[in-house]
Amino acid sequence: MNATVTDKAVSDVQHGPLLTKADITKSWLIYYMGAEVSNSYERLQSLIFCASMTPVLKKLYPNKEEQAEALKRHLNFFNTEGVMGGIIQGVAIAMEEQKTRGEPITDSSIIGIKTGLMGALAGVGDSIIWAALMPLLIALFIPFAAKGSAMGGIAPLVLYTGITIGISYALCHKGYKLGRESIVTLLQGGKIKELIYGANVLGLIMMGALAASYVKLSTPLKFSFLQGSEVVVQQVLDSIVPGLLPLAAVFAIYLYMLKKGPRYTVILLSVVAFSLVCSITGIL
Amino acid sequence: MSTLMLATLMGLYYWFARLRLGYTFSGMLVQPIVIAVFVGLITGDMQTAMIVGAGIQLVYLGVTSTPGGNVPSDPALAACIALPIAVKTGMDANLAIALAIPFGVIGVFVDQLRRTINAAWVHMADKHAETCNTAGIMRCAFLWPALMGFVIRFPVVFAANYFGQSVVEQFLAFMPRWLTHSFEIMGGILPALGFAITIMVIGKKTLIPYFVAGFFAVLYLKVDIMAVAIFGTCIAFLIRSFGKNEEA
């Protein structure tokens, strides 16, 4: 214990003050708050990344010229998923700190690590945080909302915000501590893939369950035969497999998107036209 | 509450939620189901607001953001306009969904405008970096986008809510039966879009049987959503070792 304290004191004297945990938390908070606020087509999240680094850079580079260089370095193109992106921030802070302590770290290696990690982490983050966790939490509480309870909106808001803040805070500090090598190992390891796989399985099961409850499609068609016996089409369909029409609707739209890409507007207009035609002709 | 007050509050909500302050917090604020809580509070009709909100939410379930942050459709604009009007006019949930859709599309253009204008602040920040003006950089990252966002976001929702209600009421009074029925059909089909998008976003064709399993679990076994979540989690854990061997 004493040894580490003196070590730190010695290194402070030799290399200037170290960053404290609070400095990193401050950086993390700025990034979390503003990741999308200033997002632009030109350089996406570069502005907020630079802004989030300001508390750290001000401390590390008292020399104005160096500070200006560092700020410009972090205005380079940057974009990733904001929760997982916390790791990159931690790594970047650690590298800037090492640089001021005389380690051979070039400007381009800092930029290189950021751009190298941002794509991979955006992929991981988009598939876990946005494509799995978010719809899952909403799905879980939609039945409350459908019954008219405010819980259906409050619960997902609180849970999603809480969980993701916890993750990104932890990742940012972890990234700072572990440095870049370990991040690469983490990304290549099986754990993250496993996590995404599991989340996707659960997500799809939930979506299926919700689709069964909330996609509503039935036909009023009836055919009367000469003998007076009547065939109600919906009853026939239900006796084969219930929910055939809703399931068909989901997959029709899915297959269209698979072929033509996510053309939401075309799909929406088609659904409108389809509904009008079916309403007028009495098919549905 | 007066229409003026309601329109103002909705305009402010839309501006604030779409400001995207707090990355995941605001990510949830723009969801119809959360907007419904706000509409319920200010109109005093939580029950209706939540039911209609759930309906609109289903259409946009998978619509979060795509890589690069492009908004494929804006659920917040759709809900901020359709929800209050639906609650005020006592509109059927299916009809409200149909009303919401066009606004969701308009919202995409508003966001494109925002991100185009936002480029100006990056250039400003470049200059601030030269002079180490860190306070200036912070203003570029937060203050200017917020002010500009107000200018382009607030008026849309305010105007639609302020003038929309009476227009919609008149329209509802004259609507023929075949048209109302077509809206009912539409309201029944559109949630399928939300699910299809989610399957698409997850993007693993080999996992589609899980979707089908969940679907028929509800229809045949009559389990509710919470039960599906519990069993689903167990299944997700159980197949973990199995999944490792596959290209995940």
Shared domain for B210 and B104, answered yes or no, is no
| B157 band by pLDDT with thresholds 50, 70 and 90 | very high
Return the residue matching tokens 């698409």.
B200
Structural domain span for residue B161: 3-202
A36 closest CB neighbour out of B20, B31, B191:
B20
For position A30, what pLDDT does the model report?
Answer: 97
d(CA B80, CA B158): 9
Q: B240 and B130 share a domain? A: no
Reading the block at residue A123, the tokens are 């992929």
Same domain, A228 and A122: no
Same domain, A28 and A166: yes
In a domain, A24, yes or no: yes
Is residue A209 in some structural domain? no
- Residue A195 CB neighbour total at 10 angstroms: 17
Q: Is A41 exposed, middle or buried (0-12, 13-18, 19+ CB in 10 A)?
A: middle
Q: What is the pLDDT of chain A when averaged over all its residues?
A: 87
Same domain, residue pair B97 and B213? no
Interval B166-177: pLDDT, tens: 888 787 778 888
Answer yes or no: is pLDDT of A1 > 50: no
Contacts of B199 in chain A (CB under 8 A): 204, 207, 250, 254
Count of residues in chain B? 248
Q: What is the C-alpha to C-alpha distance for residues B115 and A251, in angstroms, rounded to an integer? A: 33
Residue with tokens 């790594």: A91
Is A212 a member of any domain?
no
Distances (CA, A) of B119 to A40, A209, A251, B97: 5, 43, 39, 34
**3 state DSSP class of A224:** strand
Assess if residue A247 is contained within a domain: yes
| Residue B146 to residue A37, Cβ atoms within 8 A | yes
Q: Are residues A141 and A13 in the same domain?
A: yes
Q: Is A211 inside any structural domain?
A: no
Q: How confident is the model at residue A26 (pLDDT cuts 50, 70, 90)?
A: very high
pLDDT band at B242; cut points 50, 70, 90 = low
**B236 and B194, same domain (yes or no):** no
What is residue B72's predicted lDDT score, i.e. its pLDDT? 66
B71 SS3 class? coil
Q: For A151-155, A178-182, B33-37, which range has the lowest pLDDT when averaged over its residues?
A: A178-182
pLDDT at B73 over 50: yes
Residues of B with Cβ-Cβ distance to A39 under 8 angstroms: 20, 69, 115, 118
Per-residue pLDDT tens over the stretch B96-127: 888 888 888 788 888 888 888 999 999 999 99
Compute the average pLDDT of residues A175-190: 74
Q: Same domain for A53 and A155?
A: yes
CB B64 within 8 A of CB A130: yes
Secondary structure (DSSP) of A61-72: --SHHHHHHHHH
Residues A143, A86 share a domain: yes
* B19 part of contact set with chain A, CB < 8 Å: yes
When scoring A40, A213, A274 by the number of chain B Cβ atoms within 10 A, the one with the most, hence best to mutate, is A40
Confidence of residue B52 (pLDDT cuts 50, 70, 90): very high
**Domain assignment present for A190:** yes
Q: Are residues A46 and A139 in the same domain?
A: yes
Give the count of domains, chain B.
2
CA distance B98 to A162: 33
User: Which residues of chain A have a CB within 8 Å of the CB of B50?
Assistant: 144-150, 152-153
Asked whether residue A30 falls in the same domain as residue A150, the answer is: yes
Regarding whether B52 and B14 lie in a shared domain, the answer is: yes
pLDDT at B179: 86
**What's the gap in Å between the CA of A107 and the closest CA on chain B?**
16
Give yes or no: residues A60 and A101 share one domain: yes
User: Any chain A CB within 8 A of the CB of B27?
Assistant: yes
B128 and B151 within one domain: yes
Which chain B residues are Cβ-neighbours of A126 within 8 angstroms? Answer: 67
pLDDT at res. A180? 65
Q: Determine, for residues A208 and B21 on separate chains, whether the beta-carbon distance falls below 8 Å.
A: no
- Whether residues A264 and B72 touch (CB distance < 8 A) is answered with yes
Q: Are residues A178 and A226 in the same domain?
A: no
Choice among A140-154, B84-98, B231-245 with the minimum mean pLDDT: B231-245
Considering the domain architecture, whether residues B24 and B91 belong to the same structural domain is answered as yes
pLDDT exceeds cutoff 60 at B180:
yes
Which of B181, B202, B223 represents a domain boundary (last residue)? B202
Rounded to an integer, the average pLDDT of A152-173 is 96
Q: Examine the domain organization and report whether B115 and B32 are in the same domain.
A: yes
Same domain for B86 and B178: yes
The average pLDDT across A85-103 equals 90
CB nearest B62 (choices: A135, A272, A284): A135
Residue A67 reports pLDDT greater than 50: yes
Whether the per-residue pLDDT at A141 is higher than 70: the answer is: yes
Residues A40 and A155 in one domain: yes
B136 touches chain A (CB under 8 A): no
The answer to whether residues A145 and A252 belong to one domain is: no
Mutation target vs A (from B83, B148, B222, B225; most A CBs, 10 A cutoff): B225
Do A35 and A129 meet the contact criterion of CB atoms below 8 Å apart?
no
Amino acid at A30: I
Model confidence band, residue A181 (pLDDT cutoffs 50, 70, 90) = low
Q: Same structural domain for residues B167 and B219?
A: no
- Domain total in chain A: 2
Long-range own/partner contacts, residues B8-12 (CB < 8 A, 24 or more apart)? B8/B158, B9/B42, B10/B39, B10/B42, B10/B80, B10/B81, B10/B84, B10/B157, B10/B158, B10/B161, B11/B153, B11/B154, B11/B155, B11/B156, B11/B157, B11/B158, B11/B161, B12/B154
| pLDDT bucket at B248, cuts 50 / 70 / 90 | very low
* Average pLDDT value for chain B: 88
Q: What is the pLDDT of residue B209?
A: 94
Mean pLDDT of the B188-210 span: 86
Would you say residue A169 lies in a domain? yes
What's the first-to-final CA gap in chain A, in angstroms? 76
Q: Which of A47, A205, A265 lies nearest to residue B232, judging by beta carbons?
A: A205
Tell whether A210 is covered by a domain: no
Q: Do residue A156 and residue A259 come from a single domain?
A: no
Lowest mean pLDDT among A36-45, A135-144, A259-268, B35-44: A259-268
Does position A235 have pLDDT exceeding 50, yes or no? yes
pLDDT of residue A197: 86
Whether residue B208 sits in one domain with residue B195: no
Query: Which residues span the domain enclosing A21?
Result: 2-203
Burial class (CB in 10 A: 0-12, 13-18, 19+), B148: middle
Question: How much is the ipTM here?
Answer: 0.86
